[in-house]
């Protein structure tokens, strides 16, 4: 029997450390070559670490959320060697230290696996180790007051006498949970409900909840947290909100969207904004820049690489449309759709997730009236799109309904003056309100 | 013209109306009830009660005839029975009369004023009644429409001559030699079977593919079998066309498109009942309707404030006990009590041979309603009491929610099972689960044990099967 130490391999990208985001194994697991051991996260990509040999896990070197240096020990395996003795059965294994606790029950009793019980198909050896309960503070496991659990429209189950008593008491039985068989509401349930007093009657179905769930901030969520904190701590934001009349733009968009083809997909508002930014940034290259505040250098980029803030199942990600200045409107739309989809599916590469020089953030119909976008550090500007709605606008003689949309844009006030910021926002407004100008070169 | 003013006016003294009036009287409401016919309505005079009386006579007669033919398995023989049919009808009329008087007595005891005559709405608060002593105007704070229903007439088989409704069938002077029954629903079958037992040659003509189409086929199969044994001919998928010119036969188009002549002394048409909504001045009120019926909410309120409707005039199921429960509820609402319709089940019974009881959902209905169900069925062939009564056909069937055993429906077919409707109804109304029914001691030897066994079967551990 020999011991083999698996070290965190160099996952590329020239990094020195990576964050452990997922364990696929725990102490006691028997693994085969190429089984996945763990996942680590570098700047933005997640890398899976496979097992190089067969063996049994005897030690794991980090907890989820820990930062592990490249080359440090990650897992110790017992592998078949000269000693030759067979491993102890899996069910004798001690509780794993770093097991993910998603599947653990909320209550704490530790089930003792009867040793005589043979493993069945339903219970692979891995499932027979004792699961670690979710960490909860005291009070969390106290029985919460029962709330009615019925399908919508389902009538509460109660005997005629209980129904009558409730009606006489002016009580709607739908507010009550039944403790009887099949959820039947008993006289006792009714009495208990009535005893809770007039306040409980006024606020039926409301109950105090104790209990606190601890959720570890790891992986992508931690990256987001760090980036946001960095940006807000370092960058004095200045935010300008300007309204844009997009009626003409919407008319144009409707015409363009009449006959979509795979090469000319339906356009949302974003490709127009991308084109408008490409044009405006050509005139104000100081906004298409990265500010290295430690070195004291602003690097203006000739290429316009638009970060697109995208909500994914894992959290906020910023895939990048590279060289927006070299793409026409359909080119912008196609690339935008492609990278956003890859980000949502978790298949975006590191390259597709880095290199932006300015960012767009849009929540579509959820976009609110105004927002205060947080700059994607070390960029110096971000453009936020708010929701479009029809608003009455005074045209000099009367109110007319116009499709209005606000842009909320933030700038790094250290390197961008308010005047420059205002000029940029006004230029975007001008371009978007006169969409023909978007398509005039030069 | 005399005028009466009252708190509550009930139009129609059928089971819905009279129960409503009695309960209102008990609650101290100044109540008037108007009835054009006899107290007790269809149910008591020309429906439930007299038909059950005649069914009983027929049963007893058939038993005697069965014994006379030496067909009992237990060796009883008897002389050929003779039935004085006029006396049987008089006996039935006697029962009806006693109940009429009983209802009258109960109404008076509750201090309800009874007005005989036909009522017509003048407006939402006023009704004019044509009484023997002239028109009477009744003003009421609240009015309950309980006008009931009447037999549906077929345009090509108008009532009159040999064509009769259930009303006439219950007061015939003699047993018809040949009886054709149009409509194989429960009324047609109850009366058809009774007359078959009394010696009529009965033919039942049903337009649909099976008898009692409102019940599931499993439940009606024992009845179909019994019809065959009684020599009743059943034409399924057949359409009545009219009376032969000679007046002694029913013309029928059979399922295969053939024209057929069914010789008949009487043609009983039982193709359903229609609500009585005309002739009472409803057009003065313009109430919201629900098809042919008056639309009501869960408090039996119509679209007009202060006007309630109960019973057959408000829709299916057209059953006396539904009307009674509605009547009681409306009286309590009129007295200012908080009430609403919250019943879980309305039992239905067919007094055929064998009898059928249906409470709640059938397996198909439960599945259609989206329930995952567990079904337990117990045959009376394995029930001691059914054997000792010489009535082993039929079964009890229980339908429950799969996940928690909540009983959704209970059905039975068999001799004398109508009385089991009590237990079935109570179980569903109380929200019983399979375990509740299985855990209740059922007296031995009774048919009711079949109920417990059906629940045990659904739980997977019936004892006697």
Q: What is the pLDDT of residues B231-273, one digit of tens each?
A: 999 999 999 999 999 999 999 999 999 999 999 999 999 999 9
For the beta sheet containing B407-414, the strands, ordered from the edge strand earlier in sequence to the opposite edge, are B348-350, B355-360, B407-414, B395-401, B373-379
B332 in contact with chain A, both atoms CB, cutoff 8 A: no
Active site residues of B: 444
Marked catalytic residue, from A172, A413, A420, A441: A413
What is the structure's pLDDT at A1? 66
Residue A33 lies in a domain: yes
Note whether B163-271 and B348-458 share their fold. no
pLDDT (mean) for B124-149: 95
pLDDT (mean) for B121-129: 95
Do A408 and A268 belong to one domain?
yes
Contacts of B401 in chain A (CB under 8 A): 182
Query: Residues A98, A23: contact at Cβ < 8 Å?
Result: yes
What is the structure's pLDDT at A213? 85
Secondary structure letter of residue A320 according to DSSP: E
Query: Residues B392, B264: contact at Cβ < 8 Å?
Result: no
Model confidence band, residue B88 (pLDDT cutoffs 50, 70, 90): very high
What is the structure's pLDDT at A83? 46
- Final residue before a domain boundary, out of A159, A189, A209: A209
> How far is residue B410's CA from residue B363's CA, in Å, rounded to a whole number?
10
Residues 6+ apart with CB under 8 A from B215: B350, B356, B358, B362
B342 in contact with chain A, both atoms CB, cutoff 8 A: yes
Contacts of B430 in chain A (CB under 8 A): 159-160
The β-bridge partners of B164 are: B268
Q: Are strands A358-362 and A381-394 parallel, antiparallel or unpaired?
A: parallel
Nearest to B415 by CA among B454, B438, B388: B388
> How far is residue A121's CA from residue A140's CA, in Å, rounded to a whole number?
34
Nearest to A26 by CA among A1, A57, A4: A57
Please state the CATH superfamily assignment of the domain spanning residues B2-46+89-150+274-334 in this structure. Answer: FAD/NAD(P)-binding domain (3.50.50.60)
Beta strands in B60-166 (DSSP E): 113-116, 118-123, 126-131, 134-145, 149-151, 163-164
Contacts of A183 in chain B (CB under 8 A): 404
Residue A93 lies in a domain: yes
Residue A395 is a catalytic residue: no
Q: Are strands B2-11 and B134-145 parallel, antiparallel or unpaired?
A: parallel
Neighbours of B98 (CB within 10 A): 10
**Chain A, chain B: beta-carbon pairs less than 8 Å apart:** 33
What does the DSSP assignment read for B221-280? HHHHHHHHHTT-EEEET-EEEEE-TTSSEEEEE-TTS-EEEEE-SEEEE-S-EEE--SSS
> How far is residue A168's CA from residue A187's CA, in Å, rounded to a whole number?
13
What is the structure's pLDDT at A96? 42
What is the structure's pLDDT at A89? 40
3-state SS of A127-147 is HHCCCCCCCECCCCCCCCCCC
What is the structure's pLDDT at A322? 94
Query: Residues A5, A51: contact at Cβ < 8 Å?
Result: no
pTM: 0.60
Residues 6+ apart with CB under 8 A from A157: A178, A180, A182, A183, A184, A185, B406, B431
Q: Specify the CATH number for B163-271; select among 3.40.1350.10, 3.50.50.60, 3.20.20.150, 3.30.70.60.
A: 3.50.50.60
Extents of the domains making up chain B? 2-46+89-150+274-334, 163-271, 348-458
Do A312 and A348 belong to one domain?
yes
Do A161 and A306 belong to one domain?
no
pLDDT at B388 over 50: yes
Residue A413 is a catalytic residue: yes
Do A360 and A245 belong to one domain?
yes
Do A56 and A99 belong to one domain?
yes
pLDDT (mean) for B350-372: 96
Model pLDDT for residues B157-189, shown as the tens digit of each residue: 999 999 999 999 999 999 999 999 999 999 999
Secondary structure letter of residue B128 according to DSSP: E
Cβ of A159 within 8 Å of Cβ of B406? The answer is no
B426 in contact with chain A, both atoms CB, cutoff 8 A: no
Q: Which fold has domain B348-458?
A: Enolase-like; domain 1 (3.30.390)
Do A153 and A56 belong to one domain?
no
Do A260 and A331 belong to one domain?
yes
Cβ of A170 within 8 Å of Cβ of B338? The answer is yes
What is the structure's pLDDT at A132? 41
Contacts of A152 in chain B (CB under 8 A): none
Cβ of B404 within 8 Å of Cβ of A180? The answer is no
Residue B24: φ, ψ to 5°:
-60, -40
Beta strands in A319-362 (DSSP E): 320-321, 358-362
- Is the peptide bond between A378 and the residue preceding it cis, with omega within 30 degrees of 0? yes
> How far is residue A135's CA from residue A115's CA, in Å, rounded to a whole number?
27
Task: Read off the CATH number of the domain in which A41 is found.
Answer: 2.40.50.100
Greatest alpha-carbon pair distance for chain A in Å reads 96
- Final residue before a domain boundary, out of A209, A240, A255: A209
Contacts of A155 in chain B (CB under 8 A): 342, 344
> How far is residue B228's CA from residue B203's CA, in Å, rounded to a whole number?
11
Model pLDDT for residues B307-348, shown as the tens digit of each residue: 999 999 999 999 999 999 999 999 999 999 999 999 999 999
Do A295 and A331 belong to one domain?
yes
Neighbours of A52 (CB within 10 A): 14
Do A283 and A326 belong to one domain?
yes
Burial A131-170 (b: 16+ CB within 10 A, else e): bbebeeeeebbeeeeeebeeeeeeebbbbeebbbbbbeee
Cβ of B433 within 8 Å of Cβ of A182? The answer is yes
Taking only Cα atoms into account, the Rg of chain A, rounded to an integer number of angstroms, comes to 30
A180 or B17, which is more confident?
B17
What is the structure's pLDDT at A77? 85
**Looking at beta carbons, which pairs linking B99-103 to residues 24 or more positions away fall under 8 Å?**
B99/B40, B99/B44, B99/B49, B100/B38, B100/B39, B100/B40, B100/B44, B100/B45, B103/B13, B103/B18, B103/B39, B103/B40, B103/B44
Task: Read off the CATH number of the domain in which A337 is found.
Answer: 3.30.559.10
Q: Which residue of A has its CA nearest to B405?
A: A182
Chain A interface residues facing chain B, Cβ-Cβ under 8 Å? 155, 157-160, 163, 167-168, 170, 180-184
Cβ of A160 within 8 Å of Cβ of B429? The answer is yes
What is the number of structural domains in chain A?
Answer: 3
Q: Which of A165, A177, A182 to mutate to test the interface with B (most CBs of B within 10 A)?
A: A182
Cβ of B342 within 8 Å of Cβ of A180? The answer is no
- Final residue before a domain boundary, out of A176, A209, A242: A209
Task: Read off the CATH number of the domain in which A187 is found.
Answer: 4.10.320.10
CA B46 to chain centre: 11
Contacts of A170 in chain B (CB under 8 A): 338
Model confidence band, residue B283 (pLDDT cutoffs 50, 70, 90): confident
Contacts of A182 in chain B (CB under 8 A): 401, 404-406, 431, 433
pLDDT (mean) for B377-403: 96
What is the structure's pLDDT at B100? 96
Domain range for residue A113?
2-128
Cβ of A157 within 8 Å of Cβ of B431? The answer is yes
Q: Which of B338, B431, B434 to mutate to test the interface with A (most CBs of A within 10 A)?
A: B431
Q: Are strands A36-41 and A17-23 parallel, antiparallel or unpaired?
A: antiparallel
ipTM value: 0.78
B406 in contact with chain A, both atoms CB, cutoff 8 A: yes
What is the structure's pLDDT at A131? 40
Q: What is the mean pLDDT of chain B?
A: 96
CA A36 to chain centre: 24
Residue A109 lies in a domain: yes
Secondary structure letter of residue A351 according to DSSP: G
pLDDT digit of tens for each residue in chain A (442 aa)? 688 888 888 776 667 788 888 888 888 888 888 888 888 887 667 788 888 888 888 888 888 888 888 888 888 888 876 544 444 444 444 444 444 444 444 444 444 444 444 444 444 444 333 344 444 444 333 333 455 667 777 888 999 989 998 998 888 888 888 888 888 999 888 888 888 743 444 555 677 787 788 888 888 888 889 999 999 999 999 999 999 999 999 999 999 999 888 888 899 999 999 999 999 999 999 999 999 988 999 999 999 999 999 888 888 889 999 999 999 999 999 999 999 999 988 888 888 889 999 999 988 778 889 999 999 999 999 999 999 999 999 989 999 999 999 999 999 999 999 999 999 999 999 999 999 999 887 5
């Amino acid at each position: 029997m020999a011991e083999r130490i698996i070290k965190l391999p160099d996952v590329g990208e020239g990094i020195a450390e990576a964050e452990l985001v997922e364990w696929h194994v725990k102490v006691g697991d028997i693994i085969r070559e190429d089984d996945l051991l763990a996942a680590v996260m570098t700047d933005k990509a997640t890398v899976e670490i496979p097992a190089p040999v067969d063996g049994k896990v005897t030690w794991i070197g980090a907890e989820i959320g820990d930062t592990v240096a490249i080359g440090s020990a990650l897992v110790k395996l017992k592998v078949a060697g000269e000693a030759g003795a067979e491993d102890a059965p899996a069910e004798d294994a001690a509780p794993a230290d770093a097991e993910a606790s998603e599947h653990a029950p909320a209550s704490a009793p530790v089930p003792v696996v009867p040793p005589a019980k043979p493993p069945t198909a339903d219970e692979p050896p891995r499932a027979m180790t004792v699961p670690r309960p979710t960490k909860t503070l005291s009070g969390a496991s106290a029985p919460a007051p029962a709330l009615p659990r019925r399908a919508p429209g389902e009538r509460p189950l109660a005997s005629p006498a209980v129904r009558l008593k409730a009606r006489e008491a002016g009580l709607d039985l739908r507010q009550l949970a039944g403790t009887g068989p099949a959820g039947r509401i008993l006289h006792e349930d009714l009495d208990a409900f009535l005893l809770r007093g007039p306040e409980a009657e006024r606020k039926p179905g409301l109950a105090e909840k104790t209990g606190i769930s601890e959720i570890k901030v790891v992986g992508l969520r931690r990256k987001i947290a760090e980036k946001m904190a960095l940006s807000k701590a370092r960058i004095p934001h200045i935010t300008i909100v300007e309204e844009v009349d997009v009626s003409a733009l919407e008319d144009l968009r409707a015409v363009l969207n009449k006959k979509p083809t795979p090469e000319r997909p339906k356009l949302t508002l974003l490709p127009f904004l991308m084109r408008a930014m490409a044009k405006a940034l050509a005139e104000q290259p100081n906004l298409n820049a990265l500010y290295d505040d430690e070195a004291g250098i602003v690097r203006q980029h000739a290429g316009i690489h638009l970060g697109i803030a995208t909500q994914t199942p894992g959290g906020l990600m910023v895939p990048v449309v590279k060289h927006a200045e070299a793409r026409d409107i359909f080119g912008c739309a196609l690339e935008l759709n492609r990278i956003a989809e890859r980000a949502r599916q978790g298949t975006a590469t590191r390259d597709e997730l880095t290199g932006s020089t300015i960012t767009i953030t849009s929540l579509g119909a959820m976009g609110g009236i105004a927002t205060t976008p947080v700059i994607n550090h070390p960029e110096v500007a971000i453009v936020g799109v708010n929701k479009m709605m029809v608003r009455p606008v005074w045209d000099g003689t009367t109110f007319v309904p116009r499709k209005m949309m606000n842009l909320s844009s933030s700038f790094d006030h250290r390197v961008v003056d308010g005047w420059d910021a205002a000029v940029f926002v006004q230029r975007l407004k001008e371009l978007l309100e006169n969409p023909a100008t978007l398509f005039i070169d030069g | 013209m005399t005028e009466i003013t009252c708190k509550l006016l009930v139009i129609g003294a059928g089971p819905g109306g009279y129960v409503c009036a009695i309960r209102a009287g008990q609650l101290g409401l100044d109540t008037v009830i108007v009835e054009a016919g006899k107290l007790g309505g269809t149910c008591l005079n020309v429906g439930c009660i007299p038909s059950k009386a005649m069914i009983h006579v027929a049963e007893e007669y058939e038993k005697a005839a069965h014994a006379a033919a030496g067909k009992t398995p237990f060796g009883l023989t008897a002389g050929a029975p003779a039935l004085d049919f006029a006396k049987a009808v008089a006996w039935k009329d006697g029962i009806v009369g006693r109940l009429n008087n009983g209802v009258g007595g109960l109404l008076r005891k509750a201090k309800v004023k009874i007005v005989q005559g036909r009522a017509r709405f003048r407006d939402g608060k006023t009704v004019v009644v044509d009484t023997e002593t002239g028109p009477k105007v009744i003003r009421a704070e609240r009015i309950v429409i309980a006008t009931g229903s009447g037999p549906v007439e077929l345009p090509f088989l108008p009532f009159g001559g040999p064509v009769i409704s259930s009303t006439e069938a219950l007061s015939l002077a003699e047993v018809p030699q040949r009886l054709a029954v149009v409509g194989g629903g429960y009324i047609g079958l109850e009366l058809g079977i009774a007359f078959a037992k009394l010696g009529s040659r009965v033919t039942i003509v049903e337009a649909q593919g099976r008898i009692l189409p409102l019940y599931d086929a499993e439940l009606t199969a024992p009845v179909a079998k019994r019809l065959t044994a009684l020599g009743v001919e059943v034409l399924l998928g057949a359409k009545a066309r009219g009376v032969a010119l000679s007046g002694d036969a029913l013309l029928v188009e059979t399922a295969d498109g053939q024209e057929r002549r069914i010789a008949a002394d009487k043609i009983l048409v039982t193709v359903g009942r229609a609500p009585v909504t005309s002739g009472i001045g409803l057009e003065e009120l313009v109430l919201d309707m629900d098809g042919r019926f008056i639309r009501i909410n869960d408090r039996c309120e119509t679209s007009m404030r202060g006007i309630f409707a109960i019973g057959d005039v408000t829709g299916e199921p057209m059953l006396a006990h539904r009307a009674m429960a509605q009547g009681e509820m409306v009286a309590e609402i009129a007295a200012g009590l908080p009430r609403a319709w919250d019943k879980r089940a309305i039992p239905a019974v067919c007094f055929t041979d064998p009898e059928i009881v249906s409470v709640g959902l059938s397996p198909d209905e439960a599945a259609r309603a989206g329930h995952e169900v567990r079904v337990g069925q117990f045959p009376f062939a394995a029930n001691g009491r059914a054997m000792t009564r010489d009535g082993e056909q039929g079964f009890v069937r229980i339908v429950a929610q799969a996940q928690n055993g909540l009983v959704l429906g209970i059905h039975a077919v068999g001799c004398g099972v109508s009385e089991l409707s009590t237990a079935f109804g109570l179980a569903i109304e109380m929200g019983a689960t399979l375990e509740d029914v299985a855990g209740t001691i059922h007296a031995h030897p009774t048919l009711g044990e079949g109920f417990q066994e059906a629940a045990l079967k659904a739980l997977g551990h019936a004892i006697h099967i």
